[in-house]
Amino acid sequence: MNVNIDKHLIHHSKNIKEAMFLLNQLAMDAILFVIDEHENLKGSLTDGDIRRGMLNGATLETEVINIIHPNPKFTRRNAVNLEELIALREKNFKIIPVLEAETDKIIDIINFRTQKSYLPIDVVIMAGGRGSRLWPLTKNTPKPLLKINDKSVIDYSIERLHKYGITNFHVSVNYLKEKVIRHLSKYDDHINFNIIEEEKPLGTIGVLHQNINYNCDSVLVLNGDLISAIDFEMFYLDFISKDADISILTIPWKVDVPYGIIESTDGVVSGLKEKPTYTYYANGGAYLIKRDILKYLPKDTFYNATDFVHLMMQKKKKVVSFPFKGYWLDIGSHEDFKRAQDEVNFSE
């Protein structure tokens, strides 16, 4: 997530004067992680550690290894305990190093001052559709690259997901794919894009059977024309707590009936509701899926997410719903596109 890991690192042989210079440069993020010659984490260092060290006789030339905090908080890649990270965040820990799975080498930095979370999920964004209902806007521009208030639709999702610590993106492309690929190349290398080129349309989820190297056990599948304020941390925690195989983001959809509705059984009236409002839950175009059930997808076959959900229910897999009441808009029509131009002002 953090593209400037090195600025938080200091070799254990460096002295306090050098450490003070680095801490001053870090300003609000003033914490250093002390590493050895193998780049393994040995401890952390803050202004408070320096003050305590100098009160105990250290000088500006003292090596920092002598004044470190030897047991800093950390997490490991591919073994992230999100509940523990949330507890640290609530205790006001701002900067947490991420270590390799097998060594103590720092490979990432979590900064809760600038990001919301650090979710252990891969994301697949479906960005290959023709956007026929938005014609002629999509004649020369793929739908994910249409501009909403000077920002491409797909960027709203990428930037929001990145704030939740997600760096592994798999993007399915087909229609005007060169333009989508060129657009994604503008991102720095702190986001990893795996481009999946569909040789033929594979539906909303068929592409997931391709040879995709996932890094995590949970996969988020997202429509490329979606703009929302989804709390992806809550979505993921709900998915994990329910031990679900699939979780579908659902959007409340109210239907106002302009007439009195009769309730009856065998012609006998049991009730009368005057102009009732019914709430249904619509598919929100976002799915969290356990990676190991993707093996059930047919290979090189047009397959929609709804087909996959039905198949998993037939196989007695656990499919749950995550109701979401925040901002959500699927850019599927000219009316939706105009609405987005007027509405998209939520905090990202």
Residue 266 CB coordination number (10 Å): 4
Is pLDDT of 235 > 90?
yes
Q: Which among 44, 49, 33 is positioned nearest to 70, based on CA atoms?
A: 44
CB burial of 203-214 (b: ≥16 within 10 Å; e: otherwise) equals bbbbbbbbebeb
| 220-232 per-position pLDDT tens digit | 999 888 889 999 9
| DSSP states along 87-138 | HHHHTT--EEEEE-SSS-BEEEEEETTT-S----EEEEEE-----GGGTTTT
Lookup result for tokens 């026929």: 132
Q: Which among 213, 217, 163 is positioned nearest to 191, based on CA atoms?
A: 163
- The CATH number for 121-343, chosen from 3.90.550.10, 1.20.59.10, 3.20.20.20, 3.40.50.740, is 3.90.550.10
User: pLDDT confidence of 345, banded at 50, 70, 90?
Assistant: low
By the 8 A CB rule, do 226 and 129 touch? no
Q: Is 216 exposed, middle or buried, given 0-12, 13-18 or 19+ CB atoms closer than 10 A?
A: middle
pTM of the model as a whole: 0.87
| DSSP states along 8-42 | GEEETTSBHHHHHHHHHHHGGG--EEEE-TT-BEE
Alpha-helical segments (H) within the chain: 16-26, 47-55, 82-90, 153-163, 177-184, 232-241, 305-314, 334-343
Task: Report the alpha-carbon distance of residue 234 to residue 86 in Å, rounded.
Answer: 11
By the 8 A CB rule, do 166 and 191 touch? no
The CATH number of 5-111 is 3.10.580.10
- Residue 207 tokens read as 């592409």
Hey, where are the domains in the chain? 5-111, 121-343
| 65-104 per-position pLDDT tens digit | 999 999 999 998 778 889 999 999 999 999 999 999 889 9
The per-residue pLDDT for 174 is 85
Give Dmax over CA atoms of the chain in angstroms.
93
- Residue 45 tokens read as 């260092």
More confident residue, 302 or 315: 315
